[in-house]
A and B are shown apart, each in its own frame.
With several copies, the nearest count.
Chain A
Amino acid sequence: MKLRHPFRASLAALALGVLAASPALADDPKFDSGDTAWMLTSTALVLLMTIPGLALFYGGMVRKKNVLATVMQSFAITCLVTVLWVVIGYSLAFTEGKPFFGDTLGAYVGGLSQIMLNGMGIGSVNPLAKTIPESVYMTYQMTFAIITPALICGAFADRMKFSALLWFMGLWSVLVYSPVAHWVWGPDGFLNDAGVLDYAGGTVVHINAGIAGLVCALVMGKRAGLGSENLAPHNLVLSLIGASLLWVGWFGFNAGSAVAANANAGMAMAATQIATAAAGLAWMFVEWMARGKPSVLGIISGAVAGLVAITPASGFVMPGGALAIGVAAGIGCYWSATTLKHMFGYDDSLDAFGVHGVGGIIGAILTGVFAREAVNPAVPANPATNTAAVAAKMGLLDGNAGQILTQCYGVACTLVYSAIATFVILKVIDLAIGLRVEKEVERDGLDLALHGEIVP
Chain B
Amino acid sequence: MKIVMAIIKPFKLDEVRDALTAIGVHGLTVTEVKGFGRQKGHTEIYRGAEYAVNFLPKLKIEVAVSSDQTDKVVDAIASAAKTGQIGDGKIFVFGIDRAVRIRTGETDAVAL
Contact = CB atoms under 8 A, between A and B. Distances in A.
Whether the complex brings A and B within 8 Å at their CB atoms is answered yes
Interface of A: 228-233, 291, 293, 295, 297-298, 301, 337-339, 341-342, 351, 354, 443-444, 448, 452-454
Interface string B1-32: 00000000001001000000000000000000
Contact of B47 (A229, A351, A443, A444): A351
Chain B: interface size category:
10 to 19
Interface of B: 11, 14, 42-49, 51, 53
8 contacts: A230-B51, A231-B51, A293-B45, A295-B46, A298-B47, A351-B47, A354-B47, A452-B43
Contacts of B46: 232-233, 295, 297, 453
B47 A230 contact: no
A229 B53 CA distance: 10
A338 B46 CA distance: 9
Contacts of B53: 230
Contacts of A229: 14
Given A228-B14, A443-B11, A452-B43, A342 B48 contact: yes
A218 B79 CA distance: 35
Nearest to A295: B45
A229 B54 CA distance: 12
Nearest to B11: A443
Contacts of B51: 230-232
B48 A337 contact: yes
B48 A339 contact: yes
Q: Most B CB atoms within 10 A — which of A232, A295, A351?
A: A232
A448 B47 contact: no
Contacts, number: 38
Contacts of B44: 232, 448, 452-454
A364 to B, nearest CB: 23
B interface majority secondary structure: strand
Contacts of B48: 337-339, 341-342
A141 B53 CA distance: 44
A167 B46 CA distance: 25
A187 to B, nearest CB: 40
A338 B50 CA distance: 10
Contacts of A448: 42, 44
Nearest to A355: B47
Contact of A231 (B42, B43, B49): B49
Q: Most B CB atoms within 10 A — which of A298, A448, A452, A453?
A: A452
Contacts of A338: 47-48
Contacts of B47: 297-298, 301, 337-338, 351, 354
Nearest to A341: B48
Contacts of A342: 48
Contacts of A351: 47
A152 B46 CA distance: 20
Given A452-B44, A453-B44, 13 more contacts: A228-B14, A229-B14, A230-B51, A230-B53, A231-B49, A232-B46, A232-B51, A297-B47, A338-B48, A339-B48, A448-B42, A452-B42, A454-B44
Contacts of B14: 228-229
A305 to B, nearest CB: 11
B2 to A, nearest CB: 30
A233 B46 CA distance: 8
Contacts of A354: 47
B16 to A, nearest CB: 14
A293 B45 CA distance: 9
Contact of B45 (A301, A341, A443, A452): A452
Q: Most A CB atoms within 10 A — which of B11, B42, B45, B47?
A: B47
Nearest to A301: B47
Contacts of B42: 448, 452
A129 to B, nearest CB: 38
A316 B82 CA distance: 62
A295 B48 CA distance: 11
A291 B11 CA distance: 28
Contacts of A291: 45
A443 B43 CA distance: 18
A229 B43 CA distance: 13
A337 B14 CA distance: 27
A264 B90 CA distance: 67
